[in-house]
Each structure stands twice: as C-alpha cells, then as structure tokens.
Amino acid sequence: MKPVKLKINGEVKEVEVPEDVPLLWVIREELGLTGTKFGCGKALCGACTVHLDGKAVRSCSVGVGDVGAREVTTIEGIYEEDNLHPVQQAWIEENVPQCGYCQIGQIMSAVAMLSKTPNPTDEQIDAVMSANLCRCGTYPRIKRAIKRAVELSAEQKGGK
C-alpha cells in the first residue's frame, strides 16, 4: 500500500490506507480529529462537512485517494484558541447549538458559503444550508446566526 499524502489544516500528513477509504474516517481515526462527525455515510445529512480548497464537501463520500493536492480544512483548522471564527461567535451569540452534533457540519457549510457569498440572501442561505440536517430543529437560529456572522465579519474588517 502506497501512503496517501494529505494536506490538512496547513500541515502535510501521510496515511497508510487504501485509496477508497472515506476521507471522514481518515480524518477521525487516522488523524484523530474528531470534530468532524459521522451521521449518515451517504452525503445526505452534512454532519461530516469539511472543505477541499475552501469548498464544502461531504467527507463521508469522498475517497481519500480522490483528494489529491487539494487542501483539506476541518473545524479544527478554521479558528485559533483565542480567536473564534465569526461564524462560531455568531453561533454562540444566537444560542444555536442544542445537541450540537450537526453543528460542526453546519458551521463548515456556512463558512464556505460566506467566503464565496459574503452577504447571502435568505434564498441563498436556504439553498446551501438545506444540505445540512438538524434533528434538534435549530434552523431558525442558524439563519439568524449566519446574518449575525455577516455583521461580525464587517465589524472586524472595519476595525482593522
């Protein structure tokens, strides 16, 4: 077995797994990053959402061999200990999480969306975020938090 090279959260890692192992399980079991969650295994719920070169993908349905040179970003790679991402801050302010299991995927989807569409309309939010399921029913708050994140990002930019 040839080791697979993975650029993840700014580091390069090598893992010895077959190429068809889902990226999700490489992230969780080989690299020990457990922020990314297993929900359905079929790209239906979005709990496993990570970024490949900034684009949101469902890591349960991407073979690790298909990642190639693209940079993988997980929740652990989007913030610093004393400096949360504006989306995370907004999530806390709006009391979004309940059980919290889907929220990592929700946040990763929102971050990817905002990097491309910094000020999304309700329809754009619906279109992107409907890929992420939440059984606790936090959708109204996720929507509010995304709008709050837009404000926080603007404030941070204005302050700099």
Partner 1 sequence: MKRRDFLRVSALAGGALAVGINFAGCASARQRREIARVAEESGVFRPNAFVTVRPDSKVELLMPKSEMGQGVTTLHTTLLAEELEVKLEDVELSVAPASQEDYGMMITGGSTSTPDMFIPLRVAAATAREMLLAAAAASWGVAVSDLSISEGIISHKSNGKSAPIGTFAADAAKQDVPDAPTLKNREEFKILGKRVTRVDAHDKVTGKAIFGMDVQLPNMLRAYILRPPVLGAPATRVVDAEAKKVPGVVKIFTIDRGVVVVAEKFWQAKMAAAKLEVTWGKGLLDGFDSEQLRKLSADYSGRKPANAPRNDGNVKRALQRDDVQVLDVVYDAPYLSHSPMSPMNCTVQIDKANDRAEVWAPTQMQVITQQLVARIADVPQENVKVNTTYLGGGFGRRGIFDFIVESTTIAKEFDRPVQLIWSREDDTKFCYYRPQSYNRLIGAVDKEGKPVAWSHHNLSQSLIAQKDLVSGILPNWIPEAMNSMLSRASVGLFRSGTVPAVTALEGARDMPYAIPNVRVGYTPVIADVPVLFWRSVGHSFNGFVVESFIDEMAHAAKKDPFEFRRGLLEEHPRQKAVLELVAEKAQWGKKMPDGFGQGIAQHHSFGSHCAQVIEAGLVDGELVVKKVTAVIDCGFALNPDMVKAQIEGGIIFGLSAALFQEITFVNGQVQQANFDTYRSLRMYQSPEIEVHILNTENEPTGVGEPGLPPAAPALANAIFAATGLRMRKMPFKPELKRLMAERDVRGEQKQATASKEAGQ
Q: Which residues bind partner 1 (CB under 8 A)?
A: 17, 21-22, 25-26, 28-30, 32-42, 44-45, 47, 74-76, 79, 84, 88, 91-93, 95-104, 107, 125-127, 129-143
How far is C-alpha 41 from the geometric centre of its chain's CA atoms? Answer: 16
Shortest Å, Cβ 75 to partner 1: 4
Shortest Å, Cβ 73 to partner 1: 12
Q: Which of 115, 138, 139, 135 is nearest to 44 (CA)?
A: 135
Q: Which is nearer to partner 1, 135 or 158 (CB)?
A: 135
Q: Which is nearer to partner 1, 25 or 52 (CB)?
A: 25
Q: Which is nearer to partner 1, 71 or 136 (CB)?
A: 136
Shortest Å, Cβ 66 to partner 1: 15
Q: Which is nearer to partner 1, 70 or 98 (CB)?
A: 98
Shortest Å, Cβ 102 to partner 1: 5
3-state secondary structure of 126: helix
Shortest Å, Cβ 62 to partner 1: 13
Q: Which is nearer to partner 1, 23 or 52 (CB)?
A: 23
In terms of residues, how long is the chain?
A: 160
DSSP for 43-102, please give it: SSS-TTEEEETTEEEEGGGSBGGGTTTPEEE-GGGS-BTTB--HHHHHHHHTT--SS-TT
Q: How far apart are CA 90 and CA 149, in angstroms?
A: 5
Are 109 and 139 in contact, with CB atoms under 8 Å apart?
A: no
